[in-house]
């Protein structure tokens, strides 16, 4: 028998209440009842439970409204923590966030380069351990780790379905193995989807917004959030904007498609284009043998920001292609906002923002219905890592367990068959 | 204070129960309780109400399961009706469907050509009246009319934001005016979104599916359905696939974008291409002055089906472009199925289906995670009209009133200021 689609989105009461408290920062029980539509009795019971678990605290009294002043409740940020790990070839950021999603500790290193996962994951685990120790965070209060990296993925199994950074990573059980090393649950997700939800959680976008996050680190990815939840599609491999085609006559990409955006606009494409311009390459001391596109791209972006005309031309061309793709994504998802996040936008964001906005204003099919606004990320280079940690908090506390559309639960430590 | 995104999707109990009964066709109260998670007492009360309103009937007993046999309930199809009107320049289909979404009456005419709305809408109203009369449907049982046509639209106001079929239609209050003529509520929606939900309601796709509907009549549109609800985006102007670009270097489209799919693959493009081939144009007696691209396209499609190599080349080229766009849409929405609906696919569907499937199998970024299956519409040429009627039933009975994401309520008759 068919399952009702409407029923499938029934909220968990406790998660709903906790999410409203989080978003409101400080709220009375009466306001909670109004905001959720739940009865006063239910709110009292749920709040009592949350107080008992230490997740919320009572915090002073609200402004008098004629009757007796109301006791306010708010999150207790140090009650729980989430860890976020953004893992890439040329960049790795690790953050610890508290229950309110605020970073309390951060570290980064150069990325896993071409290490196989057997070497890279223990390194990541030791960095996480060290960060938790130096931050003085009690491991008992850590809900888990959000490991965010390249797509496509099998999120349920915690496995990457892409040979990045190297062939060894294809089909490797990254989440179960990291869980095993750390003794903590690990949730695998897409870096761009993580960056997208991180923006929401940090209050950077309107809660009712339908927005896209364009995520550019070494590659280009994307995530779409509708009213506070990541748009997942049939297998959580949605919004891979780096691999939509902008040219039906373009060259074939290793992914199988032709004319993929990433090959025109991504940092590696910009670096390749710069290397064909001898004056520019010499001026910026670009290394033709460099494997680290992020560093080389940052030099070009810095020169563009400083007014170097050749560098600026390259960055603006990349931005033009991204603007072209932004029109496609907006036409399909009917977005109201696009957030630019990730290391590469962090170094050249204002140039990109202006050009992408211009393309949207000129080219968008439904621009008469409403504009699409382009804004920089509030989290900059750490957007994906913070989002990874937020996804763990959201999965554990807000969405609750067992709803089909919540996606996979974190893979618990010790769940891997070691034979 | 921020509204909780989770809470916002709280279902209306009555709508949930009715939708489960609809999808199951015949179900006992015990099974209803299991399927919805509601208590037996709540189910009994809701079913009693639905029986009282005549929306469901008791219908025999289920197979014995050890205890006493259970009384089954099922929809009472003739209890309510919805009307769907697909309105285009070269095609107009009107259907009446019963509560189960099954067409009980149908008519069509040549479309509104270049009539202004003041002339076209009374014509449509008279056709709807005549159809209801000839079908013997009691107007008291008609919940409303789903008018489905070109996007972009302001659905809330019932206004088109596009100068199609002619300039007169831009910003014209089509839904309020038709409601006034008919004395029935009218809901304005996008034809492709309507076609998409029609497929779901008729059981053509898995209820948990994330699927896209590619809709090709005179133009090309699209709709995406996630677990039984149309993906709306910020203003219900989503998935306008005819106006995504397939060529960053392409020509400018009247919509403002460059290289729009519709200008490469749409029926009018195919007819234009055919007119540049003198032998083919003569063989098929194509009329260079023809305004009706649907009829001319049908001739080309019929010739392609019959093996004419030139006609086949044109249709396959169009299909290749559509396949290219299908990859983009699938990469972004992570679809599992694409349904081909509308008049133009109805005449050449199998050629399109094969080529689009081939492109997806070769080019899709996440094809290692899962395939995307291309299937023909179960409703053929009537998909949009049937979907329009279904949207009215869904809006009135299943989604209930007043939820923010339900979109607009039908504009009631007499709501227009007539000054």
Do A265 and A397 lie in one domain? The reply is: no
> pLDDT digits over B125-145, tens only?
999 999 999 999 999 999 999
Query: What CATH number did the domain enclosing A215 receive?
Result: 3.30.420.40
Considering the domain architecture, whether residues B87 and B152 belong to the same structural domain is answered as yes
In the structure, what pLDDT confidence band is assigned to residue B68 with cuts at 50, 70 and 90?
low
Question: Could you tell me the two tokens for A278?
Answer: 């001898």
**Is residue A373 over pLDDT 60?**
yes
For residue A58, is it within any domain?
yes
Nearest to A20 among B4, B327, B328 (CB): B4
**Residues A258 and A214 occupy one common structural domain:** yes
A226, A233, A366: residue with CB nearest B210: A233
Least confident interval from A279-283, B107-111, B299-303 = B107-111
Domain shared by B308 and B211, yes or no:
yes
pLDDT in tens, B10-24: 346 888 899 899 888
B contacts of A398 (beta carbons < 8 Å):
6
> Are A5 and B154 inside 8 Å of each other by CB?
no
Q: How confident is the model at residue A65 (pLDDT cuts 50, 70, 90)?
A: low
Q: Which one of B75, B90, B112 terminates a domain?
A: B75
Whether residues A135 and A281 share a domain: the answer is: no
For residue A413, being part of any structural domain is answered with no
Q: Residue A262: name the closest of A281, A279, A280, A240 by CA.
A: A240
Give the confidence band of B382 by pLDDT, cuts at 50, 70, 90: very high
Q: Which regions of B36-161 does DSSP assign to beta strands (E)?
A: 56-61, 71-75, 81-87, 92-98, 103-109, 142-149, 153-154, 159-160
Q: What angle is formed at CA B132 by the lines to CA B129 and CA B135, rounded to 5 degrees? A: 145
Could you read off the pLDDT of B218-274 as tens digits, one per residue? 899 999 999 888 999 999 899 999 999 999 999 999 999 999 999 999 999 999 999
Of A358, A88, A337, residue with least CA distance to A221: A88
With beta carbons under 8 A apart, name residues in chain A contacting B249: 247
A367 to chain B, any CB pair closer than 8 A? The answer is yes
The radius of gyration of chain B's CA atoms, rounded to the nearest angstrom, is 22
Judge whether A90 and A152 are in contact, CB under 8 Å.
no
Instruction: Say if A241 is an interface residue toward chain B (CB within 8 Å).
Output: yes
**What's the confidence (pLDDT) of residue B63?**
67
Query: Is residue B301 assigned to a domain?
Result: yes
Q: Do the Cβ atoms of A235 and B207 come within 8 Å?
A: no
Q: How far apart are CA A343 and CA A338, in angstroms?
A: 16
**Higher-scoring residue by pLDDT: A208, A84:** A84
Q: What confidence score (pLDDT) does residue A291 get?
A: 82
Which of B2, B3, B4 should be substituted to probe chain A, the one whose Cβ sees the most A Cβ atoms within 10 Å? B4
CATH number of the domain enclosing B25: 1.10.10.10
- pLDDT confidence of B36, banded at 50, 70, 90? confident
Of B8, B16, B235, nearest to A366 by CB-CB distance is: B235
* A144 and A88 together in one domain: yes
Contacts of B257 in chain A (CB under 8 A): 327, 331, 363-365
Q: Do B233 and B181 fall into the same domain?
A: no
What pLDDT, on the 0 to 100 scale, is given for residue A2? 34
Non-local CB neighbours of B249 within 8 Å, separated by 6+ positions: A247, B258, B259
Distance from CA of A91 to the nearest CA of B (A): 23
Q: Are residues B368 and B241 in the same domain?
A: yes
pLDDT at B399: 65
Which residue, of A34, A52, A75, is where some domain finishes? Answer: A75
Looking at residue A274, its pLDDT comes to: 97
A209 neighbourhood in chain B, CB within 8 Å: 234
**For range A4-32, the mean pLDDT:** 74
Tokens 């990859």 identify what position? Answer: B327
What totals of helices (H) and strands (E) does chain B contain, helices first? 13, 15
Parent domain of A278: 208-377
Q: What is the pLDDT of residue A380?
A: 81
Indicate whether B218 and B330 sit together in one domain: yes
Q: Is the dihedral of CA A283, A285, A286, A287 positive or negative?
A: positive
pLDDT number for residue A408: 57
Q: What mean pLDDT comes out for the span B354-366?
A: 94
Q: Cβ(B392)–Cβ(A261) under 8 Å?
A: no
Beta strand B81-87 with B210-216 is: unpaired
On the CB side of B254, how many CA atoms lie within 13 Å of its CA? 6
Confirm whether A394 is domain-assigned: yes
Given a cut of 90, whether residue B201 has pLDDT beyond it is no
Cβ-based neighbours of B165, under 8 Å, separated by 6 or more: B88, B89, B111, B112, B113, B114, B115, B150
Is the CB of A240 less than 8 angstroms away from the CB of B365? yes
Query: Residue B405: is its pLDDT beyond 90?
Result: no
Whether residue B403 has pLDDT greater than 70 = no
Average pLDDT over residues A373-393: 92
B391-407: average pLDDT: 63
B170 plus B318 within the same structural domain = no
The residue with greater pLDDT, A227 or A186, is: A186
Q: Are residues A116 and A133 in the same domain?
A: yes
pLDDT of A360: 97
Distance separating alpha carbons of residues A213 and A341, to the nearest angstrom: 7
B257 touches chain A (CB under 8 A): yes
Under 8 Å CB pairs connecting chains A and B tally to 259
Is the bond preceding A152 in cis, omega lying within 30 degrees of 0? yes
* B333 within some domain: yes
In a domain, residue A411? The reply is no
Contact partners, residue B380, CB within 8 Å, separation at least 6: B341, B346
Interface residue B151 vs chain A (CB under 8 A) = yes
Residues of A in contact with B31 (CB under 8 A): 1
The answer to whether the CB atoms of A369 and B235 lie below 8 A apart is: yes
**Domains: count for chain A:** 3
pLDDT (mean) for B137-156: 94
Residues A276 and A399 grouped into a single domain: no
Task: With CA atoms as reference, report the closest residue to A382 among A48, A126, A86, A64.
Answer: A86
Model confidence at A107: pLDDT above 80:
yes
Say if A89 falls within a structural domain. Answer: yes
Of the partner residues B20, B321, B362, the one whose CB lies closest to the CB of residue A4: B20
Flag whether A183 is in a domain. yes
Q: Does B36 touch chain A (CB under 8 A)?
A: yes
Parallel/antiparallel/unpaired status of strands A220-226 and A229-230: antiparallel
Q: Looking at chain B, which residue has its C-alpha nearest residue A257?
A: B363
Q: Report how far residue A190's alpha carbon sits from residue A179's, in angstroms, rounded to the nearest whole number.
A: 17
ipTM over 0.95: no
């Amino acid at each position: 028998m068919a399952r009702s689609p409407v029923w499938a989105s029934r909220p968990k009461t406790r998660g709903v209440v906790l999410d409203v408290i989080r978003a409101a920062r400080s709220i009375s029980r009466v306001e909670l009842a109004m905001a959720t539509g739940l009865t006063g009795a239910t709110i009292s019971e749920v709040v009592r439970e949350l107080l008992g678990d230490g997740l919320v605290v009572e915090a002073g009294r609200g402004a008098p409204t004629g009757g007796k002043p109301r006791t306010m409740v708010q999150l207790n940020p140090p009650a729980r923590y989430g860890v976020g790990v953004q893992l890439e070839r040329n960049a790795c950021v690790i953050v610890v966030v508290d229950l309110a999603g605020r970073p309390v500790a951060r570290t980064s290193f150069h990325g896993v380069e071409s290490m196989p996962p057997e070497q890279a994951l223990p390194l990541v685990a030791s960095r996480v351990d060290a960060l938790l120790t130096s931050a003085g965070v009690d491991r008992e209060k850590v809900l888990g780790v959000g490991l965010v990296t390249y797509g496509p993925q099998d999120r349920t199994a915690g496995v990457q379905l892409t040979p990045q950074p190297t062939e060894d990573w294809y089909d490797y059980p990254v989440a179960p193995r990291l869980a095993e090393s750390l003794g903590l649950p690990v949730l695998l997700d897409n870096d761009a989807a993580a960056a997208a939800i991180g923006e929401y959680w940090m209050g950077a976008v309107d809660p009712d917004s339908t927005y896209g996050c364009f995520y550019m680190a070494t590659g280009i990815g994307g995530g779409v959030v509708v009213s506070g939840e990541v748009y997942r599609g049939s297998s959580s491999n949605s919004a891979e904007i780096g691999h939509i085609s902008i040219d039906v006559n373009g060259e074939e990409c290793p992914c199988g498609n032709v004319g993929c955006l990433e090959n025109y606009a991504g940092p590696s494409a910009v670096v390749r284009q710069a290397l064909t311009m001898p004056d520019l390459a010499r001026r910026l001391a670009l290394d033709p043998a460099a494997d680290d596109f992020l560093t080389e791209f940052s030099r070009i972006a810095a020169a563009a920001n400083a007014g170097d005309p050749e560098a600026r031309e390259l960055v603006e061309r990349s931005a033009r292609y991204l603007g072209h793709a932004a029109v496609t994504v907006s036409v399909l998802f009917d977005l109201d906002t696009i957030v630019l996040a990730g290391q590469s936008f962090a170094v050249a964001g204002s140039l990109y923002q202006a050009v992408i906005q211009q393309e949207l204003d000129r080219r968008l099919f439904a621009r008469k219905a409403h504009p699409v606004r382009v804004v920089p990320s509030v989290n900059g280079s750490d957007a994906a890592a913070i989002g990874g940690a937020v996804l763990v908090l959201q999965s554990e506390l807000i969405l609750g367990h067992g709803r089909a559309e919540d996606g996979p639960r974190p893979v618990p430590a010790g769940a891997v068959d070691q034979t």
